[in-house]
Amino acid sequence: MATALPAMDVSPSPTPGLLQVVTDLLLLDYRRCQRRAYLNRFGDESEREPERDFLIKLRQESQRHIQTVLQTEYPQYRQPQAPREDYQAQTEETLALMAQGAEVIYGGRLSQAFGEVAATGEKILLLGAPPLLVKQTGHSRWGDWQYRPLSIHLGRRPKPEYKILAAFYAHLLSHNQGQTPAGADLILRQGNRFRVDLREWLPRFYDALSDYLTTLCEQREPEVFISRQRCHLCHWQSHCYGLAQSQKHLSLVPGVTPSRYESLQKAGIETIAQLAYGAPDPLADLLGPALARQLQRQALALVEKRPFRRQHTRSFPLPQAPVELYFDIEAEPERNLDYLLGVLVVEGESHRFYGFLAENPEQEGEIWQTFLALMAQYPTAPIFHFSEYEAETLKRLAKLYPSPGLDLRRLLGRCWDLHQIVTTQAICPVENYSLKSLANWLGFQWRDGAASGDQSVCWYDQWLTTQNYVYLERIVQYNEDDCRATWRLKQWLESFLSSEGA
């Protein structure tokens, strides 16, 4: 069994006299967020949050994926034996294996002294850990063979950052073997292969490296820009979010993307209030009238802490029924598993929660049938949920576990996606349109402040490993709170849409 590779971030420099060791992980961070790479190097460690459970889980999954590829496709691999901390010994061993002509090298390291900073004379070292080096015919300084890098990733698509890393490894290879490899390969989730065109990606890698070194040499802190997708798992999130709030930063306005942010800056708009109360015409010229108006109204909602109807909509009746159902799912995408189907049944003053929980993945079909039995008890009750995922899951489970007598079209016809409704009908004073943000704004609090969809997935994993019921209880409580938050949102929407639409 191969040794699992730890995260390779050896910055700050492990060798006296070096300005900076540029590793693959630092470069990856830089590609994802320049500010994160900067803070990882120069940030105040006391502001850094512990790594999220979900990231640890992702890393473990990635290691399992690598092991599977190794065992099934490259069982003959060889591996440097020096400890990971001793990168010099590791690079020497890697080069020795390459000189011997080893067919496949796993966990090798390659380095290159990469010039120095003119102003200070400090040296720069590039250090990469290509997951696999695969021998192929060609030329190198050792003879009629050479190596190409092969990276293994969990993603489904060949993302640009994977290609930049592959080009980084190809660059290190060309320096070490005296020949640029003809290509670099990626193995993605489910074993799909992808060839990286180095003619396109080597120049991009040099640009990224040059930008990165400039940022580090100048020690210039990149501006904060909050993006929910990018920041939500980052260990600098609290720090950056606090800064963005203190600056009333425009990235806190939903709809302000990096390119729109640039346009706003060109128009001299720096804060949320300036966007809210600025003259509309220059903005409309830059962004188009519809988008300019939308962003201004969103900013106004935040500054004045009040919601608006979207201009173009008329009254929007939400169904009201003696019995209403509020539905939320906990799912594990990695296993393609829906392990909890939660339903809050609201009947007048009575609120009853049902959490149909698969204690092991094989029980998914069972909980689906129990869920359907509950739906059949209330055949006309509307089903409210907060994302497309719930309706999509009904389709998936109906296909996977055929249920005699199920009228899927009818069931789907009872579903109301409140996320879709709120984002098309209202502009709310929130920084994003997640259920958590909306419900918090309405005064709803989750009982467990640490709970989230990602964390629920980690708890489920921990339950499967430890069989400790505490994890299941936390998942069920979180799911119940999600259902209650959905109910709270529906209450508000109902009154807001009817009063404003009248």
C-alpha–C-alpha distance, residues 19 and 358, integer Å: 53
Q: Coil, helix or strand for 127?
A: strand
Q: Is 35 in the site for ligand SF4 (CB under 6 A)?
A: yes
Give me the least distance between CB of 211 and ligand SF4, in Å please. Answer: 15
Is 237 an interacting residue with respect to ligand SF4 (CB under 6 A)? yes
Report whether 476 contacts 448 (CB < 8 A). no
132 lies in the binding site for ligand SF4 (CB under 6 A): no
Return the number of the residue (36 or 490) whose C-beta is nearest ligand SF4. 36
Q: Does residue number 416 form part of the binding site for ligand SF4 (CB under 6 A)?
A: no
Choosing from 228, 230, 310, 447, the residue that interacts with ligand SF4 (CB under 6 A) is 230
The answer to the question of residue 236 lying near ligand SF4 (CB under 6 A) is yes
Q: Of all helices (H) and strands (E), which one includes residue 104? A: strand 104-106
Q: Which is nearer to ligand SF4, 141 or 230 (CB)?
A: 230
Residue 409 C-beta: closest distance to ligand SF4, Å: 42
Could you say whether residue 39 binds ligand SF4 (CB under 6 A)? yes
Is position 225 an interface residue for ligand SF4 (rule: CB under 6 A)? Answer: yes
Q: What is the distance between the alpha carbons of residues 256 and 278, in angstroms, rounded to a whole number? A: 15
Residue partners of 119: CB distance under 8 A and separation at least 6? 217
**Cα–Cα distance between 181 and 135 in angstroms, integer?**
10
Q: How far is the CB of 51 from ligand SF4 (least distance, A)?
A: 13
Number of residues that bind ligand SF4 (CB under 6 A): 12
Beta carbons within 10 angstroms of residue 377's beta carbon: 11
Of residues 282 through 311, those in contact with ligand SF4 by CB under 6 A are none
| Beta strand pairing call for 104-106 and 132-140 | antiparallel
Residues 433-452 that bind ligand SF4 (CB under 6 A): none
Least Å distance between CB 164 and ligand SF4?
17
Task: Pick between residue 244 and residue 475 the one whose CB is nearest to ligand SF4.
Answer: 244
* β-strands 415-417, 383-385 pairing: parallel
CB atoms within 10 A of CB 361: 14
The token duo for 383 is: 């089903």
> Do the beta carbons of residue 111 and residue 126 sit within 8 Å?
yes
156 near ligand SF4 (CB under 6 A):
no
Alpha-carbon separation of residue 324 from 38, 196, 377, 478 (angstroms)? 50, 52, 12, 20
If one asks whether residue 28 binds ligand SF4 (CB under 6 A), the answer comes out as: no
The single residue among 33, 66, 340, 344 that binds ligand SF4, judged by CB under 6 A, is: 33
Residues that bind ligand SF4 (CB under 6 A): 33, 35-36, 39, 224-225, 230-231, 234, 236-237, 240
